[in-house]
Amino acid sequence: DAGITQSPRHKVTETGTPVTLRCHQTENHRYMYWYRQDPGHGLRLIHYSYGVKDTDKGEVSDGYSVSRSKTEDFLLTLESATSSQTSVYFCAITSDGSSYNEQFFGPGTRLTVL
Amino acid sequence: RKEVEQDPGPFNVPEGATVAFNCTYSNSASQSFFWYRQDCRKEPKLLMSVYSSGNEDGRFTAQLNRASQYISLLIRDSKLSDSATYLCVVMILTGGGNKLTFGTGTQLKVEL
């Protein structure tokens, strides 16, 4: 158990509304990641963070922003949700000190945009 | 061509069978390799890292062939509880952390 929680676990929202997903970790890991998972695609990286206030884009970052004001929290915001952002969102961390840099995932947030 | 390719399956096998999954990757700069297991509507969970010399963990054996850019996972004596989707994952180290590329997964169904 990597000590990662995500909230909310399920959300239904309407097109055009802002949505913020939260990832919380308890073990002071430096690196945190947001992925989305859709049928027919592998998990795809949205944004990642390598420290407080240090973030960068992944391969599918359009329409998403992130913030990390504390080590333990990594927030993903959809400024104006669209139906194409209906997906399952996973947060992940890299275990510091791991020689293979494995990533460990939170339980996911299932988001539906109507 | 996808960066990581897997046969989607499903592989339907009887309990006790041996089953093998293959995965190919396109980026020769890939540095680390993993197999993750994902149960329906759950998060991916690390099954095993794949070492250059190959490695075994109980009933599971992983092999890496860098020359052919090929990774395999062998499951012996399959159990009903092995039913899941198996994700092949490759990693490249970048200046900002590690970049994982995921395959779309191979579905395994173990039957009585």
Cβ of B44 within 8 Å of Cβ of A94? The answer is no
Q: A60: number of CA atoms within 13 Å, CB side?
A: 19
Token pair recorded at residue B46: 């690390």
Q: How far is A4 from chain B (nearest CA, A)?
A: 11
Q: pLDDT tens-digit profile of A18-35? A: 999 999 999 999 999 999
Q: How far is A17 from chain B (nearest CA, A)?
A: 25
Q: pLDDT tens-digit profile of B49-78? A: 998 888 999 999 999 999 999 999 999 999
How far from chain centre, in Å, is Cα B81?
Answer: 16
Top residue of B36, B42, B43 to mutate, by most chain A CBs within 10 Å, is: B43
Cβ of A101 within 8 Å of Cβ of B91? The answer is yes
- Residue B34: its chain A contacts at CB < 8 A? 100, 102
Distance from C-alpha of B56 to C-alpha of B88, rounded to nearest angstrom: 16
Q: pLDDT tens-digit profile of A59-98? A: 999 999 999 999 999 999 999 999 999 999 999 998 777 7
Determine how β-strand A32-37 pairs with β-strand A44-51.
Answer: antiparallel
Angle at A57 between CA B24 and CA A85, to 5 degrees: 80
Top residue of B30, B40, B50, B98 to mutate, by most chain A CBs within 10 Å, is: B98
